[in-house]
Amino acid sequence: MTTFSPPASAPTRRMLVGGLAAAPLLASPLLAGPAQAQAGRTITLLNVSYDPTRELYKEINAAFAAYWKGKTGEILDIKQSHGGSGKQARSVIEGLEADVVTLALAGDIDEISERAKLLPANWQSRLPDNSTPYTSTIVFLVRKGNPKGIRDWPDLVKPSVGVITPNPKTSGGARWSYLAAYNYGVQHGGPGAAKDYITRLYRNVPVLGAGARDATTNFAQRNLGDVLLSWENEAYLTIDEFGPNFDIVYPSSSILAEPPVALVDKIVDRHKTRVQATGYLNFLYSPLAQDIVGKHHFRPREAKAAAKYAASFKTIPLATIDKAFGGWKKASVAHFADGALFDQIYKPA
């Protein structure tokens, strides 16, 4: 396993401005910002995000606020809300006034667009890489020394193995985990074998947490189960926090998780925060933010940051949601809608 330390020195104002100037699609919204800003006033933004991004956005928020104050004189108070991605999306639909959403999967932002009409259907085309400034994947976190010998997906269905994972009804990470497991079954026997495999896997799940951080708490602090199906970054953060108690296992294949970000148009127009929120999302693609992304164990998009942290991430085959499942809309209907496959195979004890 490979871990890494933070950069030796804090970013300077020159680094912030220079980094942003080099980032894609940044010039227009950020140049527009100062002309419309009012120096000295405080602007509040709310970023509604998924479970394991607390530490990431705490550092990004501080960096962006420093840049923005230097550029415009405005003071930004960037608030964070975290939870299972599906639950967070429902909160926005039901009235939580997010200026931006940074969720675990595109399907959750599609739900906000379709059900609440808070942003346009083409939201994903407005930023590079389908509005996903970084990627991740699903790995196994096991107890130190791997006493159950868990090496790959078939080991998760052994009768003696307890699997900890969140509820895919509420957690985006849980959906990525479920689909990675199901795709392994498809690749090693077809849809029938995949349904049998996923059924046996969830029989080994003693409790479904509401979100990724809840599942990590069940595994790392409550000592439930033998293996945690984990976001890659969450696995590294658990080792950072709890030290030598755990090991990370990369299975033979997994899934390319692409957590997207979006401006919530009707809310920023109501709050009069469109310029600031647009600048915030564009900042995520800057070299400075991309370095912070890598530091927090997410996989950066920007080439320099990706190269810097490449040794931390094992290269394994990663299925894509579009190729393996036909996109999130089809995957949601087939697997996670009421009465769909997950409801058919999961029977709580």
Give CA–CA dist 215/108, Å, rounded: 20
- Which of the pair, 229 or 5, is modelled with greater confidence? 229
Q: What is the mean pLDDT of residues 184-189?
A: 98
Whether 16 has a pLDDT exceeding 60, the answer reads no
CB of 89 closer than 8 Å to CB of 103: yes
pLDDT digits (tens, 9 = 90+) for 75-94: 999 999 999 899 999 999 99
Query: pLDDT digits over 130-171, tens only?
Result: 999 999 999 999 999 999 999 999 999 999 999 999 999 989
CA distance 68 to 17: 9
Task: List the alpha helices (DSSP H) in 121-254.
Answer: 128-131, 172-187, 191-203, 212-220, 232-242
Structure tokens at 96: 């939580």
Superfamily of domain 138-256+317-345: Periplasmic binding protein-like II (3.40.190.10)
Pairing of strands 208-209, 163-166: parallel
Query: Quick one: pLDDT at residue 209?
Result: 87
The answer to whether 255 touches 179, Cβ cutoff 8 Å, is: yes
pLDDT band at 265 (very low <50, low <70, confident <90, very high): very high
DSSP reduced 3-state for 317? coil
Residue 136 gets which letter from DSSP?
Answer: B
The Cα–Cα gap between 135 and 59 comes to 18
CB contact set of 137 (below 8 Å; sequence gap of 6+): 176, 180, 232, 254, 255, 256, 257, 299, 316, 318
Instruction: Identify which of 265, 268, 298, 267 has the alpha carbon closest to the alpha carbon of residue 284.
Output: 298
CATH classification code of 13-135+258-312: 3.40.190.10
Mean pLDDT of 287-305: 98
Instruction: Locate 197 and state its tokens.
Output: 């495999």
Q: Coil, strand or helix: which one is 164?
A: strand
User: Rounded distance, CA 209 to CA 27, Å?
Assistant: 42
pLDDT at site 40 = 74
Q: What is the pTM of this model?
A: 0.88
The answer to whether 26 and 285 are in contact (CB under 8 A) is yes
Of the candidates 325, 319, 41, the one whose C-alpha atom is nearest the C-alpha of residue 153 is: 319
Identify which of 197, 249, 215 has the alpha carbon closest to the alpha carbon of residue 83: 215
Strands (E), the chain: 42-50, 75-83, 100-102, 134-135, 138-143, 163-166, 208-209, 227-231, 246-249, 254-255, 261-263, 299-300, 318-319
Q: How many whole angstroms separate alpha carbon 100 and alpha carbon 19?
A: 22
What is the CA 38 to chain-centroid distance, rounded? 33
* Rounded (10°) CA dihedral 347, 219, 178, 294: 160
Its sign, for the CA torsion 183, 189, 190, 193, is: negative
Q: Is 256 helix (H, G, I), strand (E, B) or coil?
A: coil
> What's the average model confidence in pLDDT over 260-266?
98
pLDDT at 111 over 70: yes
Domains 13-135+258-312 and 138-256+317-345 belong to one CATH topology = yes
Number of helices and strands in the chain (H, E): 17, 13
What is the residue extent of each domain of the chain? 13-135+258-312, 138-256+317-345
Quick one: pLDDT at residue 300? 98
Phi, psi of 45, rounded to the nearest 5 degrees: -120, 145
Q: What percent of the chain has pLDDT over 90?
A: 83
pLDDT tens-digit profile of 33-53?
444 566 778 999 999 999 899
pLDDT confidence band for 15 (50 / 70 / 90): very low
Asked if residue 126 lies in contact with residue 29, where contact means CB atoms within 8 angstroms, the answer is: no
Q: Is the pLDDT of residue 237 over 60?
A: yes
Residue 207: the pLDDT is: 94
Q: Considering the chain, what is the average pLDDT of its residues?
A: 89
